[in-house]
Every structure is written in structure tokens, then in C-alpha cells.
């Protein structure tokens, strides 16, 4: 009897394995047909757009509705995907309501092994999901570029125009690793110009585009967790930079998520989402080339009035022109940043949004700029 039970169980397992394999083939076939249906044979897509989702159906709906408002008219240029991690039924049902979107599902039943005690397993699951989704879009579906969004974002009216213009930059300038729609210091009081774009040594994330060639480089060494901080390591991005706008083209409304609402009220809620339409394809973006930008930005920093001393921040409040304040080290930067209310955080020796050690932001939503500069910034900028 014992033997019969074992044989019966083995037969059940074989059947289940066969059914699983059959289901995988069916899913792949459906995905392929779904993608082919979405693609216009006469239009080469600019980029696939993928919304990374997990277990928040209400957030996903808000994100999709925001995207469709502007994507429908350019659907053939920007085919839309939802990639769900896990088997949350409400999220799957919500995703499948949208016939114009291709649904992908990543189900990984293996237990998560964290590297340090007390770590959140969510960060490991997120990293695994990102790798799976990007491998699918770049390698299986062969897209040249992919824009990654998360299920707690709304987009600006010129989001797709911005990325279409940026695609040319990415293709022609190998010193740019990715283009982002996000500015960490994009809170209402620190921004003014909807056309201003910058190079940055700090990876912003939160609505970003990369090319297939960059993904082929990153995929084999993709980390087990904390993928965004990994991209911020100098050993990963090397001498390449990122393009970011002054005014954000995405708004993150995700108060509840893996980061547990960290920094939400101070840094995310006050972000200004761009509300004017810029015709990016008629804008001359050649100034963003490495040499041109370094020269132009260097002149702007050098021409700002230097302020020194322990009361430099106080003096800055009473000036009418651009000013620059030097910080000596990370602790000095954090002290100054805290007084203005901008992000204090550094990763791998780079402050958020910095270019050659310079962090720039507007003063009280005006045209006036504050430049926080390292002791070496002017030399790095060739000034």
C-alpha cells in the first residue's frame, strides 16, 4: 500500500509538471500574439513601457488611467505592458481589464534568502522581478529601449514627447547610461523651468529609460536586492551619467509600499509634476552632450556669487542673484542641505542629483539658483 501511494503521488507530480510546462507554453504564445497585435508593422517603437506591479490594484488603476490619458495617441510608438510579481488576484484581474495592455506575470515560489538578518524580503523580490521583466522585454521581445514605471506613479502631459526626444540622446551619446523623468529635489519650492534638463552622476530612477545594449551589460551581474542603489555605484555606471529634468515628469503617490512611506511627506508629496506641454522634438538638446554641458554648466556655476562662512545660508536668503556655497565634506553638505530642506543623502560619495559634486536647485520657485559645490567641483568643470 505504501508503495502504491508513492507511485500514485509520483504520477500526480509528473502530471502537474506536464500541466505547468503546457501552461508556460500557452502563456508564452498568448504573450507573443498579444505583443504582435499591439505593434504596428509600419511603426518602429520608441520604447516599450512597463508598469511594475505587485499587490496594489487601486494604485495600479490610478497609474494606468494616468498613462492612458497620454499614451493612447502614441500607442504604436510606446507599447504598454504590466508586469506583475506574484499571484495577487485583484491585481491580475485589474490588469486584464485593459485590452490595449500586454500582461506579464512573474511567479517565483522559491523562498527568499536574505543576506543579512532582519532585512525586508520585498527588496529581494523586487530585484528578481525587475531582472525577469527586463530580460523578457529586451531579450525575448527584442525592444531597443524600455521605460520602467512603477504602480504608484502618474505622468506629465509631455512624458512621451520627452522620452522620444531623449531616445535620440541615448542612442548617440554613450556617456549617458539612462534618462530619467525624476528630480529628487523636484519639490515645488526648488523648481521653476519646465524646459531645463541636466546631466547627473546620481541615478534618479522613478520613471527611467535604458537601451538594450546597456541592459545586456547589466543583466548578468544584476544584484539580488537594492537594485537602484547598485546602479548608483561608481563601479556600475563608471564614467557615464544620467539625464534628469528640473521639473518631474512623474509623480510618485505611493505612500504605502516597500519603503513603508519613508520620506513620503517631506520629499515625495510636495513634488511638482510638470503641467505644461513642451514640444520636446523641436527643442535643441545638443547642449546635453558631455563637453557642451560641462562647459555651459561650469560657466553658470563660476558666475554665481560665492558665499562663505557659517552664515552663508542666511546670506543666500537675502540675495537677488545666483549664489554658490562650498561644502567641505559629506557632513558639511548635509548641514547646508538640511537648512535649505533639500535631500541630504549620498550614495557612494555622490549627493542626490549632483553633477561633478554640484547640487543645483531654485530658490523659492524663482529663477534664482543655489549651487552647492564641493572643493573640487570647479576644477572638474574645467573652470
Q: 120-166, pLDDT tens digit by residue?
A: 999 999 999 999 999 999 999 999 999 999 999 999 999 999 999 99
Q: What is the DSSP string of 63-96?
A: HHHHHHHHHGGGTTTS-EEEEEES--HHHHHHHH
- The pLDDT of 12-24, averaged and rounded, is 67
What pTM, to 2 d.p., does this model score? 0.90
The domain at 294-381 falls in which architecture?
Roll (3.10)
State percent of the chain over pLDDT 90. Answer: 84
CA dist 100 and 78 (Å) reads 11
pLDDT at 264: 83
Residue 182 has pLDDT above 90, yes or no: yes
CATH code of the domain occupying 40-282: 3.90.550.10
Catalytic one among 228, 275, 322, 329?
228
Residue 194's SS3 state is coil
pLDDT at 42: 80
CA dist 242 and 219 (Å) reads 19
pLDDT at 24: 65
Delimit the domains of the chain by residue range.
Answer: 40-282, 294-381
Residue 34 has pLDDT above 80, yes or no: no
The per-residue pLDDT of the chain, averaged, comes to 92
- Determine whether 322 is an active site residue: no
pLDDT, tens digit, 9 for 90 and up, residues 233-270: 999 999 999 999 999 999 999 887 655 555 788 899 99
Amino acid at each position: 500500500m505504501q508503495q502504491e501511494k508513492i507511485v500514485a503521488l509520483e504520477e500526480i507530480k509528473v502530471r502537474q509538471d506536464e500541466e505547468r510546462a503546457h501552461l508556460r507554453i500557452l502563456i508564452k504564445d498568448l504573450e507573443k500574439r498579444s505583443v504582435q497585435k499591439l505593434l504596428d508593422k509600419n511603426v518602429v517603437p520608441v520604447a516599450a513601457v512597463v508598469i511594475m506591479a505587485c499587490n496594489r490594484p487601486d494604485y495600479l488603476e490610478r497609474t494606468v488611467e494616468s498613462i492612458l490619458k497620454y499614451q493612447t495617441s502614441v500607442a504604436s510608438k510606446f507599447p504598454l505592458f504590466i508586469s506583475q510579481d506574484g499571484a495577487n488576484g485583484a491585481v491580475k484581474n485589474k490588469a486584464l481589464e485593459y485590452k490595449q495592455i500586454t500582461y506579464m506575470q512573474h511567479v517565483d515560489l522559491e523562498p527568499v534568502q536574505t543576506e543579512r538578518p532582519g532585512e525586508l524580503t520585498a527588496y529581494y523580490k523586487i530585484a528578481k522581478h525587475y531582472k525577469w521583466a527586463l530580460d523578457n522585454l529586451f531579450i525575448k521581445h527584442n525592444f531597443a529601449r524600455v521605460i520602467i514605471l512603477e504602480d504608484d506613479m502618474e505622468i506629465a502631459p509631455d512624458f512621451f514627447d520627452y522620452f522620444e526626444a531623449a531616445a535620440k540622446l541615448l542612442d548617440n551619446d554613450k556617456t549617458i547610461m539612462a534618462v530619467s523623468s525624476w528630480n529628487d529635489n523636484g519639490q515645488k519650492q526648488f523648481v521653476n523651468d519646465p524646459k531645463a534638463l541636466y546631466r547627473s552622476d546620481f541615478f534618479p530612477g522613478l520613471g527611467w529609460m535604458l537601451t538594450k545594449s546597456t541592459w545586456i551589460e547589466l543583466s548578468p551581474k544584476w544584484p539580488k536586492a537594492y537594485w537602484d542603489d547598485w546602479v548608483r555605484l561608481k563601479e556600475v555606471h563608471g564614467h557615464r551619467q544620467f539625464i534628469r529634468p528640473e521639473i518631474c515628469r512623474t509623480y510618485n503617490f505611493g505612500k504605502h509600499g516597500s519603503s513603508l512611506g519613508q520620506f513620503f511627506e517631506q520629499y515625495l508629496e510636495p513634488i511638482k509634476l510638470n503641467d505644461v506641454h513642451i514640444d520636446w522634438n523641436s527643442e535643441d538638446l545638443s547642449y546635453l552632450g558631455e563637453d557642451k554641458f560641462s562647459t555651459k554648466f561650469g560657466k553658470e556655476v563660476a558666475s554665481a556669487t560665492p558665499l562663505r562662512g557659517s552664515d552663508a545660508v542666511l546670506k543666500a536668503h537675502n540675495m537677488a542673484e545666483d549664489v554658490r556655497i562650498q561644502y567641505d565634506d559629506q557632513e558639511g553638505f548635509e548641514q547646508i542641505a538640511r537648512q535649505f530642506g533639500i535631500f541630504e543623502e549620498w550614495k557612494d560619495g555622490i549627493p542626490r542629483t549632483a553633477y561633478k559634486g554640484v547640487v543645483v536647485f531654485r530658490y523659492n520657485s524663482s529663477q534664482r539658483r543655489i549651487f552647492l559645490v564641493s572643493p573640487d567641483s570647479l576644477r572638474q568643470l574645467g573652470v
